[in-house]
Amino acid sequence: MAAKKEKPIILITNDDDITSKGIRSLVEAVSDLGTVVVVAPDSPQSGMGHAITIGSPLRMNKMDLFGNIEAWQTSGTPVDCVKLAVDKILHRKPDLCLSGINHGANHSINVIYSGTMSAAMEASIEGIPSIGFSLLDYDYDADFTAAKQTVHKIVTAVLNKKMEKHFLLNVNIPALPPEKIKGIKICKQAYAKYEEDFAERLDPHGKKYYWLTGEFKNFDKARDTDVWALEHGFVSVVPVQFDLTNYTLKKQLEKSNLFK
């Protein structure tokens, strides 16, 4: 007879805040797959990148938001949440960390600005397999039906096949009904980004201030990018790493004697 398998511990966080529909959808999508613990920010943290809180202390409060699922809100960033969860709440590494589901895209270069992906990356650095999920719909009340099905499929596959400890995925889901989604495509990060343009305004005292705006542009013509996949109705899955070394340039510079 097979030994009774212990349920995996799944840490869930996000960057939109603990009350968002996206994190609730993520909890619902995987609650049958393991013991879920939620540790998430008490206020929106979009665009926080890999920010950590050094100069001020952090607060944590236990919340009753997800029925019988343990949940904590913190005053920190998404990265702080992962650190607090491991050190002060779980007192161990979870078996898997999930971040999201983000209200809005985190494909291409946005992996770098995204609080959702930074939380997932933090877990991966700590040696916890991790996945960030984003839905291409910024609406507060977005429809997460297809996203939940995608999450369940991917998390089931990842839990069934033991992944190496730094395993990290960036998953983006098109804003389509389930029957319109063509499948899941393994991709690379597109070179696509916002072309910034600051909107200039005058305050009531006649002084200028600036709002960040921008137009999204895809400079990458390859067909194996996340942007291509999403534009063609696929879920994009980009395997991500935190070693930022440019090994090609490293070899060139080693040969060049440029700094001798």
Distance CA 227, CA 105 (A): 10
Which of 21, 24, 152, 188 is close enough to bind a copy of itself by CB under 8 A? 188
Interface with a copy of itself, residue 168, by CB under 8 A: yes
What is the Cβ-side half-sphere exposure of residue 224, based on CA atoms within 13 angstroms?
A: 5
Which of 1, 2, 55, 67 is close enough to bind a copy of itself by CB under 8 A? 55
Which of 27, 98, 131, 237 is close enough to bind a copy of itself by CB under 8 A? 237
How far lies 189's CA from each of 56, 215, 236, in Å?
A: 34, 18, 10
Select the span of 24-32, 93-101, 137-145, 184-192 touching a copy of itself (CB under 8 A): 184-192
To the nearest whole angstrom, how small is the minimum distance from the Cβ of residue 1 to a copy of itself?
29
Interface with a copy of itself, residue 154, by CB under 8 A: yes
Distance CA 77, CA 41 (A): 6
**Count of residues that bind a copy of itself according to CB under 8 A:** 74
Select the span of 4-12, 95-103, 133-141, 247-255 touching a copy of itself (CB under 8 A): 247-255
Q: Are 114 and 171 in contact (CB under 8 A)?
A: no
Which of 140, 178, 209, 222 is close enough to bind a copy of itself by CB under 8 A? 209
Nearer to a copy of itself, 179 or 210 (CB): 210
Interface with a copy of itself, residue 57, by CB under 8 A: yes
One-character DSSP codes across 68-134: TSEEEEESS-HHHHHHHIIIIIISS--SEEEEEEEES---TTHHHH-HHHHHHHHHHHTT--EEEEE
Which of 138, 165, 217, 249 is close enough to bind a copy of itself by CB under 8 A? 249
Interface with a copy of itself, residue 120, by CB under 8 A: no
To the nearest whole angstrom, how small is the minimum distance from the Cβ of residue 119 to a copy of itself?
11
Interface with a copy of itself, residue 196, by CB under 8 A: yes
Interface with a copy of itself, residue 142, by CB under 8 A: no
Q: Quick one: how far is CA 97 from the chain centroid?
A: 10
Count of all residues that appear for the chain in the document: 260
- Residue with structure tokens 């009531």? 204
